[in-house]
Amino acid sequence: MVSEKLNLWYCDTFVSTPWQFFFLILPLFGAFLYGREKYKLAWSLIGVWIAIQVTFSALTNFVFTCSLD
């Protein structure tokens, strides 16, 4: 179990703010580059986005307890 202070900081910083939606720029830009036939860079951006999303989802679902009451 994580400390209450760390849990509160994580929930206030990452879960309850809309900044995480700015990460959607990565796969969109990757799709744009894929259309421009820059496949390596496009898949790199999409892969980075997947890694970030999986990490944040795992932390939110399994490590921290965020109640948005």
Question: Residue 23 — pLDDT band, cuts 50, 70, 90?
Answer: confident
Cα radius of gyration (the chain): 15
Say what the alpha-carbon torsion angle 15, 41, 28, 33 is, to the nearest 10 degrees.
170
Question: Is the confidence at residue 12, as pLDDT, over 70?
Answer: yes
pLDDT band at 50 (very low <50, low <70, confident <90, very high): very high
C-beta atoms surrounding 48 within 10 Å: 14
Q: What local confidence, expressed as pLDDT, does residue 1 receive?
A: 66
At how many degrees (to 10) do helices 25-35 and 39-58 cross?
160
Q: What is the pTM of this model?
A: 0.80
Residue 66 in this model has a pLDDT that exceeds 70: yes
